Amino acid sequence: MTILVKSSHEEDEYAPIAVRMMSYDNVNAEQVGFIQKKSRPDADASLQMAGGEFCGNACMALAVLMANQQDLHPSGCQSITLEASGTDQLVDCVVTRTAESYLCQARMPIPLKLETKVFKYSGNEYLVGLIQYSDFLHVVVEVRQFTNPFKRMAHSLAKLLEITSSNQLIGILLFKPSSSELLPLIYIPALDSMIWERGCGSGTSSLGAYMAWKNKSSFEGAIQQPGGIISVSAQLEQEQLVGLSISGHVNIVAEGTAYIDL
């Protein structure tokens, strides 16, 4: 669940607004984005997340919202280009209206660096994949099962990485290769928000990039998450990532006015 705020607010109000909106006495959402005036002429809109992070789900949500406002006819397609916080790269989206929802494909930012490192926790060593972007970091941990010890380890690793880095978002991605299942823990230090998300678009993108880099071959997959499936395509040429995109179905479930006391 993503909330997009259409009204204008000062950026120092984004975090408290988001915290209130994500609380249980309001809409139970996993992230809040603010629609801003675009600054680049080649963009159709600008999206600023509350914590300054990049969010693939919110980009797809905004692209679908814009296509919906243009009254896209059944089976019709609309191209939307977005500015987004957390990346200097424009996010190109293609929205297709289906019978019951919208299908959105979004071109995702290419990571700056991919590597593996050994992480020690509770007397054990884990080989993890680090996917670094300009302002956020994802960590892929391959597991056989989503057990409570692995979940506790993910929390500890997120907190450790907060101390040792300056990323606006830290994602710990527990991945079961045998079934292509992903359980994403997303930590945004500026909001003190740590959530096991039902679906993570940028995390799915990072997983695809890591698998392509690790196996030295292009990767495509439908990644099962608690909230459904997000597909990823990572194109590799001469061991370099040249294309990265995700796609998934998006529904607009409600629109209205939120009254927030700051």
Say yes or no to pLDDT of 21 above 90.
no
pLDDT confidence of 5, banded at 50, 70, 90? very high
| Nearest Cα to Cα of residue 4 among 48, 54, 37 | 48
Q: Rg (Cα) of the chain, in Å, rounded?
A: 18
Say yes or no to pLDDT of 78 above 90.
yes
Query: What's the topology of domain 113-247?
Result: Diaminopimelate Epimerase; Chain A, domain 1 (3.10.310)
* More reliable by pLDDT, 4 or 28: 4
Please give the average per-residue pLDDT across 69-75, as a whole number: 83
The 10s digit of each residue's pLDDT in 176-191 is 999 999 999 999 998 8
CA distances from 180 to 57, 241, 243 (A): 19, 21, 21
Secondary structure (DSSP) of 166-229: --SEEEEEEEETTTTEEEEEEEEGGGTEEEE-S--HHHHHHHHHHHHHHHTS-EEEEEEETTEE
Please give the average per-residue pLDDT across 102-111, as a whole number: 96
| Nearest Cα to Cα of residue 55 among 176, 205, 226 | 205
SS3 59: helix
pTM for this predicted structure: 0.91
Low-confidence winner among 25-39, 56-70, 100-114 (lowest mean pLDDT): 25-39
Secondary structure (DSSP) of 155-169: HHHHHHHHHH---SE
pLDDT at 214: 96
CA distances from 71 to 66, 68, 77, 170, 212 (A): 9, 5, 11, 36, 37
The C-alpha atoms of residue 226 and residue 151 are separated, in whole angstroms, by: 15
| Nearest Cα to Cα of residue 186 among 165, 198, 228, 129 | 198
Identical fold, 2-107 and 113-247: yes
The 10s digit of each residue's pLDDT in 221-239 is 999 999 999 999 999 998 8
Sorted by where each begins, the domain ranges of the chain are 2-107, 113-247
The C-alpha atoms of residue 91 and residue 102 are separated, in whole angstroms, by: 18
pLDDT at 25: 63
Q: Residues in the chain, how many?
A: 262
Say yes or no to pLDDT of 26 above 70.
no
Q: Which CATH class is domain 2-107?
A: alpha beta
DSSP state of 12: G
* Per-residue buried b or exposed e for 211-239, using 16+ beta carbons within 10 Å of the residue's own CB: bbbeeeebbebebbbeeebbbbbbebeee
Say yes or no to pLDDT of 24 above 60.
no
Average pLDDT, the chain: 92
Longest dimension (CA), the chain: 57
pLDDT at 161: 93
